[in-house]
Amino acid sequence: MAYKITDACINCGACEPECPVSVISAGDSIYVIDADGCIDCGACANVCPVDAPIPE
C-alpha cells in the first residue's frame, strides 16, 4: 500500500515536511509521492487542506 497525490493538490507544500520517510516532493504540476518508499502512515493526508493524498 502507498499513498498517491491526486489532481486536487494545490501545491501548498504542507505535506512535504510531514512525511517521516521524505518521499514527497514537488513534481512538474503537483506534489508527488515516491510509492516505493511510502510507509502508508497517512501523515500527508492529515495535513492536506484539500484531501489530495489518498491510499491506493
The site for ligand SF4 (CB under 6 A) is made up of: 3, 5, 9-15, 18-19, 21, 23-24, 31, 33, 38-44, 47-48, 50, 52-53
**Least CB distance to ligand SF4 at residue 29 (A):** 11
Nearby residues of 17 by Cβ (< 8 Å), 6 or more positions away: none
**Least CB distance to ligand SF4 at residue 47 (A):** 6
Identity of the residue, 28 or 40, whose beta carbon is nearer to ligand SF4 in the bound complex: 40
CA distance 26 to 4: 13
Q: Which residue has the cell 520517510?
A: 21
